[in-house]
Amino acid sequence: MSDLPVIRLRPKSKPQAIRHGFPWVFADEVVADRRTRAIPRGSFAVLEDAERRPLALVTVNPDSKIIGRVMDADPQAVIDGQWLRTRLTRALAMRERLYDAPYYRLVHAEADGLPGLIIDRFGDAAVMQPNAAWADGMAAEIAEALVDVAGVSTVILNGQGRTRGLEGLDERMEVLRGTAPGAPLQVPMNGATYLADLMGGQKTGLFLDQRPNHAFVQRLAKDARVLDVFSHVGGFGLSALAAGASHATCVDGSAAALELAKGGAEAMGMTEQMTIIQSDAFKAMEQLAEEGAQFDVVVCDPPAFAPSKPTLEAGLRAYERVAKLAAPLVAPGGYLALCSCSHAVDLSAFRNVSARGIGRGGRRGQLIHSGQSGPDHPTLPQLAETGYLKALFFRLDG
């Protein structure tokens, strides 16, 4: 049927999960013989069950705990330029139906049938993160298909981050097509203007996943004093100003990110309405509390405190501490938004530690809304990791 190598599930492994759409095969689930371990990283193979019945076409990485990622349910599929164009076309069609302007996540890894591959689009430019070995090895082919399908002229490969290390991939930054922008790009979103540094910023240059949560904060923001903690490039602060907030204070440890936040305010003609505080976020909240500062809306959107199961307990303690420090900064009757982008923290656990932290901060309140990432970050139902973002909105009493 195929001249591809074969990896086979152990007799006690459950092939039903793969048949029902689960996209990963863990190393302890397969027969780890010499031939399997010798398959080059990023190669393709046929996955078989213990009875030697083909299940799917997978990409293999013997150096990773996730030894196999399902590329296609058809074991005879050929992963080439045409296959890539088909997947990209399907992903693009959904985004074009959802968004009027070409600023969105174009590919959300497994949820779009392109495992380990992230692509964010910023108008005529796209930034890809190949976080799986197959995507790193086929980066040039992906860029070519992306130009053909989406019509972008610039494709940047941002090969940085923890996930690549888990795959045994080196860090690298490369312009695959076109030329790198000479300055941060202006990105319109929810009526605000953001600046995205595609070559020097975090991830792909801008976090697009919070768009619907920015929009919810806008419903609370008119005439409000807003505190945006862990603000990065001013995600919530700028959206609040666009909706009529009287003032936004952005707190972050990164001077470069805060410069971009300031640049966004300048582009919106709202420099006077923004205050920048470069500081450790925990120390800044403690200092603001000592000063007796209070705000109508407080938003805390920290980095992933629990990126993996071994870090779960420490991460939950950190999220509780954020809530405890933030709660006293909310004026009576004001609103507190708490966010988590940790894969290992589920919604129930995050809700529990957030409520406990608010209580430890001397406050009580109502949970009025739970948010997640936008539809350009679709969730694969079989893979909880694709639905990583959680946002809780509380109204606090006096």
- Which amino acids are annotated catalytic? 341
Go through the chain and tell me how many residues it has.
398
Looking at the DSSP assignment, which residues form a beta bridge with residue 277? 251
Residue 78, both tokens = 């050929």
Looking at the DSSP assignment, which residues form a beta bridge with residue 48? 8, 54
385/66 Cα distance (integer angstroms): 13
Q: How far is CA 81 from CA 57, 89, 123, 199, 229, in A?
A: 16, 12, 23, 26, 43
Angle at alpha carbon of residue 278, lines to 277 and 283, rounded to 5°:
85
CA 181 to chain centre: 23
Could you identify the residue written with the tokens 């307990």?
313
Q: How far is CA 352 from CA 104, 111, 166, 205, 348, in A?
A: 31, 28, 30, 32, 6
Residue 330, both tokens = 């909310």
| 88: enclosing H helix or E strand | helix 81-98
| 103: enclosing H helix or E strand | strand 103-108
Cβ neighbours for 225, distance < 8 A, ≥ 6 positions apart: 245, 246, 247, 249, 294, 295, 296, 297, 331
101/99 Cα distance (integer angstroms): 6
352/221 Cα distance (integer angstroms): 26
* Max Cα–Cα distance, the chain, nearest Å: 72
